């Protein structure tokens, strides 16, 4: 079990092809159906095609998150032949200047667009998405229009969470709570989704532990080094699959994680706005090192959302 991120790891410490295949065998045997390859950038692995092929043969429905820069003609041809359930490509702007101001990689905008069009030409299921931040928020609506012109769906995430490596550089690009709300209110579908969430999950969590979501029940995360956690956002504690099994991690370790009782008054557990809030034990831990902390940034956004929807905010 790991309780905190250790030193940065090298590529040589990643799971080998045979180790990945063994995990896919275990997941298939356990009844897993949906599989997401994400990163970082999953296509940087030289054996990605071999891993993908093995997963397809095991019957998984595969979603691939990528920036599109490594989608060569050859790889696109293969994905046409052996199609994933969905590919999502991240754009950071509709202009080269904005996109590459985020990526800091010259030529990345052109490469991403090339990858997008290679998938579209082959009829591979594709969505576009972006992370909204201070340096690209003026192009969010133009990105949505661009996706519509291509005939694909588009979504944006308006909130940058604290990175797991302890760096705070990215947080300087965060939108203010007021800017987040302004973007969201301009998206009717998002507003409707929030109303539906409030209707379905009205009131406080009512959970005995600090986890009131489906993390570790309906989904889980495995990093490149074999650390298994209940969620991509809740990385600690984690279970070392090189020293145990996927089954033991899911059926024995995860229940221990989810059974953690609050050590404090845990106000988030009693808040009626949990369905509108991005704070959770995982994001709070990454933010301030305390899974039970109330993170003011997330809290302010939740209250602004509630006010905009005409809901009564708790004091």
| 57-110 pLDDT tens trace | 999 999 999 999 999 999 999 999 999 999 999 999 999 999 999 999 999 999
CA 123 to chain centre: 25
> Which position has the token pair 């059974």?
259
Q: Is the pLDDT of residue 124 over 90?
A: yes
Tell me the Cα Rg of the chain.
Answer: 20
Q: Is the pLDDT of residue 54 over 60?
A: yes
Of 7-16, 134-143, 265-274, the poorest mean pLDDT is in 7-16
Q: Is the pLDDT of residue 131 over 60?
A: yes
- Report residue 14: phi and psi, to 5°: -70, 160
Alpha-carbon span 80 to 118, nearest angstrom: 10
Paired with 35 in beta bridges are 62
Specify the length of the chain in residues. Answer: 315
Q: How far apart are the first and last CA of the chain?
A: 38
Q: 239-240 and 227-229: which strand pairing?
A: antiparallel
More reliable by pLDDT, 268 or 3 = 268
Structure-token pair, residue 187: 């998206």
Q: What is the DSSP string of 38-76?
A: -SS-GGGSTTHHHHHHHHHHTT-EEEEEE-STT--HHHH
- Give the pLDDT band of residue 199 (cuts 50, 70, 90): confident
Q: Is the pLDDT of residue 207 over 80?
A: no
Q: What is the DSSP string of the chain?
A: -BSS--SPPPGGGSPPHHHHHHHHHHHHHTT--EEEE-SS-GGGSTTHHHHHHHHHHTT-EEEEEE-STT--HHHHHHHHHS--SEEEEE-S-SSHHHHHHHH--TTHHHHHHHHHHHHHHTT--EEEEEE--TTTGGGHHHHHHHHHHHT-EEEEE--PPPPTTS--TGGGGPPPHHHHHHHHHT-HHHHHHHHHHHHHT-S----SSS--SSBTTTB-EE-TTSEEES-SS--SSBEETTSS-HHHIIIIIHHHHHTPPPSS--GGGG-TTGGG----HHHHHHHHS-TT---HHHHHHHHHHHHHTTPPPP-
Structure-token pair, residue 276: 């509108």
């Amino acid at each position: 079990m790991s309780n905190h991120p250790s030193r940065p790891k090298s590529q040589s410490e990643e799971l080998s092809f045979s180790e990945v295949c063994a995990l896919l065998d275990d997941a298939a045997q356990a009844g897993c159906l949906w599989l997401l390859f994400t990163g970082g950038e999953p296509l940087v692995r030289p054996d990605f095609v071999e891993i993908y092929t093995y997963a397809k043969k095991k019957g998984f429905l595969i979603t691939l998150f990528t920036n599109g820069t490594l989608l060569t003609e050859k790889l696109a041809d293969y994905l046409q032949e052996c199609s994933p359930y969905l590919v999502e490509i991240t754009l950071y702007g509709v202009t080269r200047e904005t996109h590459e101001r985020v990526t800091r990689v010259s030529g990345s905008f052109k490469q991403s667009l090339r990858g997008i069009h290679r998938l579209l030409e082959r009829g591979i299921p594709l969505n576009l998405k972006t992370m909204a931040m201070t340096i690209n928020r003026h192009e969010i609506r133009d990105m949505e229009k661009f996706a519509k012109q291509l005939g694909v769906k588009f979504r944006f995430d308006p909130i940058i969470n604290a990175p797991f490596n302890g760096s705070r550089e990215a947080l300087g690009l965060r939108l203010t709570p007021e800017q987040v709300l302004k973007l969201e209110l301009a998206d009717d579908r998002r507003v409707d989704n929030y109303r539906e969430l409030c209707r379905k999950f009205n009131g406080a969590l009512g959970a005995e532990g600090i986890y009131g979501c489906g993390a570790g029940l309906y989904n889980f995360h495995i990093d490149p080094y074999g650390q298994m956690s209940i969620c991509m956002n809740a990385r600690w504690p984690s279970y070392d699959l090189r020293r145990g099994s996927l089954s033991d991690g899911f059926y024995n370790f995860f229940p221990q994680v989810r059974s953690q009782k609050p050590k404090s008054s845990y106000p988030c557990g009693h808040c009626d706005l949990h369905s509108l809030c991005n704070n959770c034990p995982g994001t709070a831990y990454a933010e301030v090192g305390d899974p039970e902390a109330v993170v003011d940034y997330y809290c302010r956004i939740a209250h602004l959302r509630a006010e905009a929807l005409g809901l009564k905010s708790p004091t």
